[in-house]
Amino acid sequence: MKEKIVETSIDLFGKNGFTETSIQDIVEALGVTKGTFYYYYKSKEELLMEIHLRYIDDLILGQKEILEKKLSTEEKLYQIVYMIMKYIEGHGQSARVFFREMQHLNEEHLKDIFSKRDKFRKGLNNVIQEGIDTGEFRQDLNVNIVSLAILGAVNWSYHWFDPKGELDEKTVSTIYIDFMLNGLKAT
Amino acid sequence: MKEKIVETSIDLFGKNGFTETSIQDIVEALGVTKGTFYYYYKSKEELLMEIHLRYIDDLILGQKEILEKKLSTEEKLYQIVYMIMKYIEGHGQSARVFFREMQHLNEEHLKDIFSKRDKFRKGLNNVIQEGIDTGEFRQDLNVNIVSLAILGAVNWSYHWFDPKGELDEKTVSTIYIDFMLNGLKAT
């Protein structure tokens, strides 16, 4: 039931917004009572935090697994970009709730989520730094800013990526990585 | 007064959310009556549309001016990226309202905004295509997807760019453009 509450809420928050969705709306969509909701969650905010934690924890775990593999820096970068794209492809509404409804978390929860987002970003920073250290990447890169540009390009896809569209997440990731590694300029 | 209503609303919508802000909140912050509000706007949604129109129309106009200049493709691209970053630096709350509260526009308005966003994106597509045609850019680029990656990286900066931070919007734009043109890879 906990799982169903989370799934239904992601759907309702994503479609109608966090503020616009009441606990009543959630329990009605599930055909259960408010008591059932309060058995699992103290408040709507606590449920929102669970949705946020799942999103960022899944990505941190996925990144950790990639970083532990013996791969070239280029391949690690590809796998991280693909993982995020794939996650957005499969969890578009979660991404929407994660990035759009964050301001409805309480201060303590928000701090926790920001610190986890920082952790993920630093993991990406480390990959870029590794590429610089091994000589695969240019020596004059600004690691922090380039990392934010990459995350921006990939995260933004929740605004436009259509799982039913012409290109699948694998093709888009491949085009992204080629652009990120080689740039626009003719050589 | 119209200008003041828009400015105050951007601030309140940005900080507290569109749904969370009532017309009463807006007129109280301005020290005027609801009658004053309704003299200028039929509804809160109409005001939201005005905020959206200002954002996208400013960017479309700015892009048009850049595209009409006699510049290399590289320079046009730099100026477009810098224009968006500069706009976000000066209008952070507008960007927040624009990207986060879009779902509160009515269907007709949303269609209008999407068509204007498409226009802006196509302007960027044209710059990339021009670079391919002149031989400045690689011949094998996927114009649409690369354009979305660039817009994502730049638009995303409203999530993190701090006008009081270490790097100003000019420095960030320069790092972005270098990354976009030359990529990560050592040559």
Rounded to the nearest 10 degrees, the angle between the axes of helix A107-134 and helix A73-90 is 150
Q: Cα-atom radius of gyration of chain A, to the nearest Å?
A: 19
Per-residue confidence band for A172, with pLDDT thresholds at 50, 70 and 90: very high
CA pair distance A123, A118, nearest whole angstrom: 9
Q: Which of B104, B184, B185, B187 to mutate to test the interface with A (most CBs of A within 10 A)?
A: B184
CA pair distance A143, A136, nearest whole angstrom: 14
CA pair distance A147, B162, nearest whole angstrom: 16
Q: Closest partner residue to B137 among A149, A167, A185, by Cβ?
A: A185
Cβ proximity of A163 and A154 under 8 Å: no
Q: Closest partner residue to A137 among B137, B154, B186, by Cβ?
A: B186
Beta carbons within 10 angstroms of residue B114's beta carbon: 13
CA pair distance B141, B134, nearest whole angstrom: 13
Yes or no, beta carbons of A181 and B180 under 8 Å apart: no
Q: Which residues pair with A137 in a beta bridge?
A: B185
Q: Which residues pair with B185 in a beta bridge?
A: A137
**Span A110-149, pLDDT tens digits:** 999 999 999 999 999 999 999 999 999 999 999 999 999 9
Yes or no, beta carbons of A145 and B172 under 8 Å apart: yes
Contacts of B145 in chain A (CB under 8 A): 167, 172, 175-176, 179
Interface pTM (ipTM) of the complex? Answer: 0.92
Q: Please tell me which residue of chain B has the smallest CA distance to A73.
A: B185
What's residue A163's pLDDT?
85
What's residue B162's pLDDT?
86
Task: Give the number of beta-carbon pairs within 8 Å between A and B.
Answer: 127
Q: Which residues pair with A185 in a beta bridge?
A: B137
Structure tokens at A23: 């606990």
Per-residue confidence band for B187, with pLDDT thresholds at 50, 70 and 90: confident
CA pair distance A62, A90, nearest whole angstrom: 15
Beta carbons within 10 angstroms of residue A106's beta carbon: 13
Yes or no, beta carbons of A184 and B180 under 8 Å apart: yes
CA distance B82 to chain A (A): 14
What's residue B81's pLDDT?
97
**Span A73-103, pLDDT tens digits:** 999 999 999 999 999 999 989 999 999 999 9
Contacts of B150 in chain A (CB under 8 A): 153
Contacts of A139 in chain B (CB under 8 A): 186
CA pair distance B100, B96, nearest whole angstrom: 6
Contacts of A20 in chain B (CB under 8 A): 19
SS3 B21: coil
What's residue B8's pLDDT?
96
Instruction: Please determine, for residue A162, whether its predicted confidence score (pLDDT) is greater than 90.
Output: no
DSSP B136: S
A176 to chain B, any CB pair closer than 8 A? The answer is: yes
**Span B78-135, pLDDT tens digits:** 999 999 999 999 998 999 999 999 999 999 999 999 999 999 999 999 999 999 999 9
Cβ proximity of B121 and B151 under 8 Å: yes
A171: left (phi > 0), else alpha (psi -120 to 50), else beta? alpha
**Span A25-47, pLDDT tens digits:** 999 999 999 999 999 999 999 99
For CA atoms A44, A49, A52, A57, the dihedral sign is negative
Contacts of B159 in chain A (CB under 8 A): 99, 152
All residues at 6 or more sequence positions from A186 whose CB lies less than 8 Å from its CB, including other chains: B135, B136, B137, B138, B139
Cβ proximity of B161 and B88 under 8 Å: yes
What's residue B183's pLDDT?
94
B108 to chain A, any CB pair closer than 8 A? The answer is: no
Which domains does chain B show, CATH number per domain? 1-41 (1.10.10.60), 52-182 (1.10.357.10)
Yes or no, beta carbons of B141 and A179 under 8 Å apart: yes
Yes or no, beta carbons of B153 and A152 under 8 Å apart: yes
Instruction: Please determine, for residue A161, whether its predicted confidence score (pLDDT) is greater than 90.
Output: no
Cβ proximity of B11 and B64 under 8 Å: no
Contacts of A149 in chain B (CB under 8 A): 153, 175-176, 179-180
CA pair distance A178, A181, nearest whole angstrom: 5
A153 to chain B, any CB pair closer than 8 A? The answer is: yes
Output b/e per residue, A20-59; b: 16+ Cβ within 10 A: ebebeebbeebebeeebbeeebeebeebbbbbbeebbeeb
Contacts of B143 in chain A (CB under 8 A): none
Cβ proximity of A158 and B155 under 8 Å: no
Cβ proximity of B180 and B77 under 8 Å: yes
Mean pLDDT of B19-25: 95
